[in-house]
Amino acid sequence: MSKIHPQAPHVSLVSLPFTTSTQETFTIWMKSLVLSGKGCTVFDSNGQIVYRVDNYHCKCSHEAYLMDITGKVLFTIRRQKFRLIGFWEGFRSFNGRVNDEDKNPGFEVRTNYRILQGDSICEVVVWFDKDQPCQRYQIESCRDKSTFKIVDKLGRLITEVKRKQSKCGISLGEDVLTMVVEPHIDHSLIMGLVVAYGLINGLM
């Protein structure tokens, strides 16, 4: 089966709203919309698909694409290697195509294992604007890698991801997660960080 790439958009993605003034809740289904592909599908609180992730290859691919429902690429996420250390970079797309040329990532995610505690921290650096200082965050997880949270440098909660439960408190399975994003946060960026975290931990 040949690789399928999303089509170029007719309008700029910059105008699309990825930030809201209220807390947002999303459902992440760890399944790709592409037959035999790997990735996940993201629904908003109304049950509408808002994001999709496909890497077209096996699990733990070295590249994945965060797209909107129409297939327009928002972030190209790639694994980079520096000697023995591997890390992930996310390249924002402003034209809806796979980003193959931009050398300046929008974010970077590196793993810092805490052996004694049995959990891990991913260090995150985000460049919102080339003319502004970078912002630093952490992705904190425990032994259950599907449960984690993103906090800022002061420890304030930005996003929390955990297994989704029904109203009766019954888990909907290991491949169904709920993601809560705090107000005034770019949730497309958050999804880019979640994808990088999922690739690091073999979740997609």
Around Cβ 61, how many Cβ atoms within 10 Å?
18
Model pTM? 0.82
Domain assignment of residue 117, yes or no: yes
Lowest mean pLDDT among 42-46, 57-61, 100-104: 57-61
Instruction: Give CA–CA dist 37/67, Å, rounded.
Output: 14
For tokens 């949270």, the residue is 149
Domain assignment of residue 5, yes or no: no
pLDDT tens by residue, 126-182: 986 667 788 899 999 876 777 899 999 899 999 999 988 777 777 777 889 999 999
Domain assignment of residue 7, yes or no: no
pLDDT tens by residue, 189-203: 999 999 999 888 877
Diameter over CA atoms, the chain: 51
Better-scored residue on pLDDT, 83 or 184? 184
Residue 119 has what pLDDT?
Answer: 61
For all residues of the chain together, what is the average pLDDT? 80
pLDDT beyond 60 at 5: no
Instruction: Give the 3-state secondary structure of residue 124.
Output: strand
Domain assignment of residue 153, yes or no: yes
Percent of the chain scored above 90 by pLDDT? 38
pLDDT beyond 70 at 29: yes
Domain assignment of residue 132, yes or no: yes
Domain assignment of residue 63, yes or no: yes
Instruction: Give CA–CA dist 196/39, Å, rounded.
Output: 11
pLDDT beyond 70 at 36: no
Domain range holding 138?
13-200
| Burial annotation 185-200 (CB, 10 A radius, 16+ → b, else e) | bbbbbbbbbbbbbbbb
pLDDT tens by residue, 159-175: 999 988 777 777 777 88
Kindly report the CATH number assigned to the domain that includes residue 19.
2.40.160.200
20: its two tokens: 């809201």
Domain assignment of residue 4, yes or no: no
Domain assignment of residue 155, yes or no: yes
- Count of the separate structural domains present in the chain: 1
What radius of gyration do the chain's Cα atoms show? 16
Percent of the chain scored above 70 by pLDDT? 77
125 pLDDT band (50/70/90 cuts)? Answer: very high
Residue 189 has what pLDDT?
Answer: 93
